[in-house]
Structure 1
Amino acid sequence: MKVFANLRDICGGVSIEVNPDGNQVIDVLDKMVEMYPEIDEEIFTTDKKLKPFVHVYINGKNIIHSEDLQTVVKETDQMALFPPVAGG
């Protein structure tokens, strides 16, 4: 998993190893929250949906164009997590 912006600081780098308990995006993100609790408020709403402008990509494709948080992730997939980023 690759993480960007402020998530790099929380996770201690750009690339992190995540061994989820399932094979869906939500399983990977849940494991990340278990590993790095600060991520929870950065990426999830209180009802466990991705916050607006948080994007998850698998092999360069945004999961919103697939099965969203239920998208199946294979071990060989490249996954990236982008938090909201402000700029000007």
Structure 2
Amino acid sequence: MQVKVFANLREICGGVTVEVKPDGDRVMDVLDKMCEMFPELHEEIYTEEKTLKPFVHVYINGRNIVHDQDLETHVKESDQFALFPPVAGG
């Protein structure tokens, strides 16, 4: 599955698109595999309770996962997966 990453996550992941082969078919499986591949990513996106940090957003096919099943949202290889970190500015 291809995951598009934005802002400072591009530096952590080494580019705009990351090829991920998750061990399951949920958003959390994709993110867990990414954290395995890029350990620094974990502290950028997860709280200590392993929920997404405030203002970290995951979109599947343009739809925010909070409007679906959050981290339990199922994904397919063909889905467009986008990961956005908190962004400051104005």
What TM-score, normalized by structure 1, do the two folds share? 0.99
Partner residue in 2 for 1:70: 72
Greater strand share, structure number: 2
- Stretches (4+) displaced over 3 A: none
Q: Counterpart in 1 of 2:49?
A: 47
| Contiguous gaps of at least 5 residues in structure 2 | none
Alpha-carbon distance in 1 for matches of 2:29, 2:82: 14
Q: CA deviation at 1:22?
A: 0.3
Aligned counterpart, 2:22 = 20
Equivalent position of 1:36 in the other structure: 38
**Identity of aligned pairs, percent?**
73
Aligned partner of 1:49: which letter? T
**1:8 corresponding residue in structure 2:** 10
Report the 3-state secondary structure (helix = DSSP H, G, I; strand = E; otherwise coil) of the residue aligned with 2:43.
helix
Which whole-Å CA distance do the structure 1 matches of 2:32 and 2:50 have between them?
10
How far residue 70 of structure 1 moved from its aligned partner, in angstroms, is 0.1
